[in-house]
Structure 1
Amino acid sequence: MSYAIIGFGKIGHALAKAFARKGIEVSVATTRDPKSFAADAAAIGPTIIPKTLAEAVKADIIFLAVRFEAHPDVAKVLPTWKGKTIVDVTNAYGVPPEELGGQPSSKFVAKPFSDGRLVKGFNHLLAGVLDQDPAVHGGRRVVFLASDDDAAAAEIGTLAENLGFSPINLGGLSEGGLLVQARGKSWGRLIFKDLIKFDG
């Protein structure tokens, strides 16, 4: 299984650190030349591999850590996303609901990624929190997941566990996705919930 993070801002960096902590290789890409952020990637760890966008999207699982407005540009990189799982880490805060056609933001994001399997996840933690080790006070930091594809949600749930998080599946995008989305000037009820699960 191969992994890529598209977008290397604060959230992209935080996700890369999560992979580095566990020694899991992950590609990182932006629209810029990989040489321009190679030093940043190397500073995080040897398993963080800078690539071009065209190379990075060959991965099996792709974290979409770009600004919400940029997701259609990423979608155009491939003619089809069949066989790929896209983790939507975006937040559509400031985007009027009418621009989304009244849909949950993740359903809107899923459209241009034709044939891909989309999972909403890792978007409710602030970069400064996501940046930290998820092992906290003897428990594990929670990440919420929502998807209309149960197998994809399970796949990302397993990855989240491998990264040290405790995944909680909220169900489909129309139900669970609403709890962890932003759009217009509102936030879903579970956004910014910094929860820890204790295994007992």
Structure 2
Amino acid sequence: MSYAIIGFGAIGQALARAFARNNIEVTVASRRPPEALLPQAQAIGPTIVPRTLQEALKADVIFLAVLFEGHREVARLLPTWKGKTVVDAMNGFEGLSSADVAKAFPGARWVKGFNHLPARTLAADPSANGTRRVVFLSSDDEAATAQVADLASHLGFAPVNLGKLAEGGALVQVLDRSWAPLIFQDLFKNDPERTATAAA
């Protein structure tokens, strides 16, 4: 399984740190050429690999971490997104839901996630005192949700499935300049593995 983060601003770099902490290789790309991203990537870790946008699009799972207004430009890079799992980590103020945005990426297995936390919080170690930081996921594709939930667990987070985009997705989607109910909610769940280890 291959991974890419498109957008290497605050959120993109926060996501990259999660991959680096777990020694998982991830491609990072933006409008800037790969060599421009290299200093920041190297500062995060050796598994963070700057590549071109076209190279990033070859990944199986792609995190969309661009500014909201840039998503259409990314969508046009492929004629079809079939076979790609796209994780929508954006927040926007154009009155568009994640389901609306997904229509610009025909064929993609679309998952809303990793967008409800500020970049600084998302970048921090998600494990604390036998608990894991929660990340919310929503999708109309159950298999895609399971795939991203598995990745989130490997990155050290506690994934919580909020259901379909029109339902749970609305709880973490900024619309019309109003914050959704779960935006900025920094929640933790008990980590059963760590609890069991501590008990032993």
Asked whether the two chains share a fold, i.e. TM above 0.5, the reply is: yes
Rounded to whole Å, the distance in 2 between the matches of 1:40 and 1:185 is: 31
Whole-angstrom CA distance in 2 between matches of 1:132 and 1:124: 14
Q: Which runs of 4+ in 1 moved over 4 A?
A: none
Deviation of 1:116 (Å): 0.5
Q: How does 1:125-144 map to 2 (within 5 A)?
A: 125-144=117-136
For the residues of structure 2 that align with 1:15 and 1:164, how far apart are their CA atoms?
12
Provide the aligned C-alpha RMSD in A: 0.8
Deviations 1:1-56 (CA, angstroms, capped at 9, x unpaired): 00000000000000000000000000000011111111110111110000000110
Q: 1:187 Cα deviation (Å)?
A: 1.3
TM-score (norm 2): 0.94
> Is residue 175 from structure 1 mapped to residue 167 from structure 2 by the alignment?
yes
State the Cα distance separating 1:199 from its structure 2 match: 3.4
Gaps of 5+ in 2: 193-200
- Number of residue pairs matched? 192
What is the match of residue 68 of structure 1? 68
- Sequence identity, in percent? 61
Instruction: Quote the Cα distance in structure 1 between the aligned partners of 2:30 and 2:137.
Output: 24
* Alignment TM-score, normalising by the size of structure 1: 0.94
Which residue in 2 is equivalent to 1:106?
Answer: 98
Gaps of 5+ in 1: none
Per the alignment, residue 17 of structure 1 pairs with 17
Match status 1:159 vs 2:151:
yes
3-state SS in 2 of match to 1:38: helix
User: Once the two structures are superposed, what CA deviation does each residue of 1:135-168 show, in whole Å capped at 9, x if it has no partner?
Assistant: 0122000000000000000000000000000000
In structure 2, the residue matched to 1:146 is 138
Aligned partner letter, 1:18: A
Cα distance in structure 1, aligned partners of 2:150 and 2:69: 29
